[in-house]
Amino acid sequence: MSALTAADARPGTGERVAQRRWLPGASIGTVSILWNNDDILDLAPPVPAEGVLGEMARLGYEGTELGSNYPAGRDLTELLARHDLRLAGAYVALPCSAEGPTPGAIDLGHAKLAALHAAGGEVLIVALDQSPGRTEASGRADAPQTPQLSEAGWRSLVASLETLGREAAELGHPLAFHNHTGTFVETPAELERLLGLTDPALVGLCLDLGHYTVGGGDAVTGLERHAERLSHIHLKDVDETVLGRLRGGQIADFREALRERIFTELGSGVLDLPGVLRALRAAGYRGWIMVEQDTSWHPPSESAAIARQVLEYALKTLA
């Protein structure tokens, strides 16, 4: 083995060595939503950006996505550098009705792309925002009465994504579409249709394994099926009991499911983590693997530490 680099000297060295053996070229980060959930503001007091990034670095993560309370531009670049972190990407959710992205939605994409570029980030991650009728159908979107995109809506969505993808590419950033429960692209069939309609050169895939599971898919199957489109991964586990209650109608909608902590610590839910890592290796995946957990019963740093240790163990075992 070659000599360890300076980055290998900080916490997480064991994971990084195992990672390079099993997934050479991949990078592992985490997402600030665990510390600051922008969807449910009353969950916990906000944590300053300095504290969030310091904890990420202490736990051995290599990068983050743009957080709502992070500084912008050069200030963020310098803050990340102090913690030896990279800006893996920036996430934006486009408001959408059955007729496609609403007026002004693409402007949100433009703004997030500009923020990503100004801070020296990498991937533009684009999802749809939750919509009335869909957020209540979370986990059961295959039901006949669930609102669907119209044919015009599909055309509008494809055009919006390809426009953003073209603009992102001109600035040197890939665009990755993020599947999301409670939106018009939740189920495996809906994601399949979107990928079939969009230009692979302009629209890659950020497969969120938690949302894919809630939407009725199998994470490993999804990775294998869409291996050629993968450009970003959200690694997320799902609590089996809460998922069953959501699908059974005992939980009203996705926001309530978040309050019930439907997304759980890595290794505590239904996700086949070794199978996921095997599928990523088979795909030759070389992008970011972002550990993500929207809400937790534990302090954020504790959940982030659990996830890192579980992932480290899985990588070591496979490597």
Give domain status of residue 115, yes or no.
yes
Averaged pLDDT for residues 208-237: 98
CA pair distance 84, 119, nearest whole angstrom: 14
Residue 206 pLDDT > 80:
yes
Residue 7 pLDDT > 50:
no
Read off the pLDDT of residues 104-163 as tens digits, 9 standing for 90 and up.
Answer: 999 999 999 999 999 999 999 999 999 999 999 999 999 999 999 999 999 999 999 999
Phi, psi dihedral angles at 230 (to 5 degrees) = -65, 125
Give domain status of residue 16, yes or no.
no
Q: What is the pLDDT of residue 16?
A: 72
State which residues form the domain around 50: 26-318
Give domain status of residue 56, yes or no.
yes
For residue 17, what pLDDT band results from cuts at 50, 70 and 90? Answer: confident
Q: What is the pLDDT of residue 5?
A: 45
Q: What is the pLDDT of residue 38?
A: 86
Looking at the chain, the number of H-run helices and the number of E-run strands are 12, 12
Give domain status of residue 20, yes or no.
no
Q: How far is CA 227 from the centre of its chain?
A: 16
Q: What is the pLDDT of residue 20?
A: 82
User: Are the CB atoms for 164 and 204 separated by under 8 Å?
Assistant: no
Q: Is 90 exposed, middle or buried (0-12, 13-18, 19+ CB in 10 A)?
A: buried
Among the ranges given (9-18, 51-60, 233-242), the one the predictor scored with the smallest mean pLDDT: 9-18
Q: How far is CA 114 from each of CA 164, 167, 186, 290, rounded to the nearest angstrom?
A: 11, 10, 27, 21
Residue 315 pLDDT > 70:
yes
For residue 2, what pLDDT band results from cuts at 50, 70 and 90? Answer: very low
Give domain status of residue 90, yes or no.
yes
| DSSP secondary structure code for residue 209 in this structure | H
Read off the pLDDT of residues 272-294 as tens digits, 9 standing for 90 and up.
Answer: 999 999 999 999 999 999 999 99
Q: What is the pLDDT of residue 42?
A: 87
| DSSP secondary structure code for residue 112 in this structure | H
H helix intervals, 9-150: 13-22, 49-58, 73-82, 105-118
Residue of 119, 143, 128 lying closest to 97 (CA atoms)? 128
| DSSP secondary structure code for residue 319 in this structure | -
Q: To the nearest whole number, what is the mean pLDDT of the chain?
A: 94
How many residues belong to the chain? Answer: 319
Residue 64 pLDDT > 80:
yes
For residue 10, what pLDDT band results from cuts at 50, 70 and 90? Answer: low
For residue 14, what pLDDT band results from cuts at 50, 70 and 90? Answer: low
Top pLDDT among 127 and 19 is at: 127
| DSSP secondary structure code for residue 90 in this structure | E
For residue 74, what pLDDT band results from cuts at 50, 70 and 90? Answer: very high
Averaged pLDDT for residues 207-232: 98
CA pair distance 122, 91, nearest whole angstrom: 11
**Residue 188 maps to which CATH number?**
3.20.20.150
Number of domains in the chain: 1
Give domain status of residue 119, yes or no.
yes
Give domain status of residue 139, yes or no.
yes
CA pair distance 172, 298, nearest whole angstrom: 38
- In this prediction the pTM is 0.94
CA pair distance 110, 165, nearest whole angstrom: 10
Q: What is the pLDDT of residue 3?
A: 39
Q: Which two tokens stand for residue 74?
A: 């050069």
| DSSP secondary structure code for residue 129 in this structure | P
Residue 258 pLDDT > 50:
yes
Instruction: Give one word for 284, left, alpha or beta, with left for phi > 0 and alpha for psi -120 to 50.
Output: left
Please count the other Cβ atoms lying within 10 Å of the Cβ belonging to residue 88.
26
Give domain status of residue 3, yes or no.
no
